[in-house]
Amino acid sequence: MTDPIVSIRGVSKRFPGGVIAVDNIDIDIAQNEFFALLGPSGCGKTTLLRMISGLETPTEGQIIIAGQDMALTPPNKRPTNMVFQSYAVFPHMTVEDNVAYGLRVTGVPADETTRRTAEALEMVKLSHLAKRKPDQMSGGQRQRVALARALVKRPKVLLLDEPLSALDAKLRDDMRMELTRLQETVGITFIIVTHDQDEALSMASRIAVIDKGAVQQIAAPSELYEQPATRFVADFIGKVNLIDAKVLSRSGKSISCEAKGLGKLKFDTDKTCGDSVAVAVRPEKLKISKAEPKAAGLIKVQGKVRDVAYYGDTSHIVVSIKGGPDLQVNVQNDSRTGGSGVERGQAIWVSWMPDDSLVLTE
């Protein structure tokens, strides 16, 4: 990456009482990226965002924004702006005044304030509501006011802390697309904090998955889904079958292992394995059949259908395996018969191509 706009180098944050909220994190974020910090509640993502904004000071490490070390730069002098979860807008001011406020208090001339306010309202498609007050608006519209207030300051980096969490599900979907469009239009770097994997996958160009203060993996959404680096990432991003296996032997890039309920299996892997690994396979990669599948090289096992959940176009099927974990299988429903054709209690074969599974060592 040439000249990242934000460079987080060896950053840690310890709070009084011994909590290590952020543990030696390194991340480079490129100009114009839509970058997501994703992880479960308490993993340290908000603390990291607050350190980028200057609201929190790192215990160790460096934060460099646009080539400058920010150690001695207070929040209001940084080229960043933050949009909070509870979008902070003044209820007694019109939308226009809310947006103009940040420019007025810093002494920007009146004509420039008017022009930039109009531009910011245009960006978030609120020009027609400029004279309204936020308490006469919907949650989604108020969120746009908050975005316009942040954008009008022309930050190099916009920081968004769970910006959609206060909106209902339908509005959240609309705003996701809206935020992606906005980021492409304004061409500045967005860094968003979220615990919602769908949100991160659908909006971000790259995602850092964080657990217990540490980065587990940084990758594009499709790579995180298809090539998760650890059990945690595989499990956190989408649904996955994780099957414990004992390593029996290694030879070159290939390992032979005993997987619970599945017997002996062979895999090619670049990773160095200890004595135990997990075989990870997504539910949509598994096939089911009443008769034993005959194709060569398949991994296959017979089980009993424990549950069938119908979701319109697909069904989610849970198959119990003797001596092994339950396997989750997603199948496309037949549009004519309207179902998966599978019933609870039925004996069934589950199979997949070895290349569709991953061996996880951590």
Report the run of H or E that residue 250 belongs to, with start and end.
Answer: strand 241-251
Q: Which is nearer to ligand ATP, 55 or 247 (CB)?
A: 55
Shortest CB 84 distance to ligand ATP, Å: 12
The answer to whether 148 and 116 have CB atoms below 8 angstroms apart is: no
Helices (H), the chain: 45-53, 95-104, 110-123, 139-151, 169-186, 197-203, 221-226, 231-236
Quote the least distance from Cβ 21 to ligand ATP, whole Å: 3
Candidates 250, 294, 249, 296; CA nearest to 270 is 250
Tokens of 40: 């479960």
Angle subtended at Cα 316 by Cα 313 and Cα 319, rounded to the nearest 5 degrees: 150
- Closer of 45 and 176 to ligand ATP (Cβ): 45
Interatomic CA distance for residues 69 and 66, integer angstroms: 9
- Show the tokens assigned to 73: 């730069």
- The enclosing H or E element of 11 equals strand 6-15
Of the pair 51, 279, the CB lying nearest ligand ATP is at 51
| Nearest distance from C-beta of residue 46 to ligand ATP, angstroms | 3
- Alpha-carbon gap, residue 176 to 196, rounded angstroms: 12
Question: Least distance to ligand ATP from the beta carbon of 35, Å?
Answer: 16
Q: Are 165 and 134 in contact (CB under 8 A)?
A: no
Nearest position to ligand ATP, beta carbon: 46
Nearest approach, Cβ of 73 to ligand ATP (angstroms)? 21
Q: What is the torsional sign of CA 338, 343, 346, 349?
A: positive
**Footprint of ligand ATP (CB under 6 A):** 15, 19, 21, 39, 41-47, 195
Cβ 56 to ligand ATP, closest distance in Å? 8
- Residues facing 6 on adjacent strands: 29, 65
- Other beta carbons within 10 angstroms of residue 345's beta carbon come to 7
Residue nearer to ligand ATP on the CB measure, 194 or 340: 194
Q: Which residue's CB is nearer to ligand ATP, number 41 or number 335?
A: 41
Closest distance of CB 164 from ligand ATP, Å? 13
Q: Closest CB to ligand ATP among 96 and 199?
A: 199
Q: Which is nearer to ligand ATP, 50 or 142 (CB)?
A: 50
CB-wise, 21 or 321, nearer to ligand ATP? 21
Tokens of 69: 């070390």
**Smallest gap, in angstroms, from Cβ of residue 230 to ligand ATP?**
18
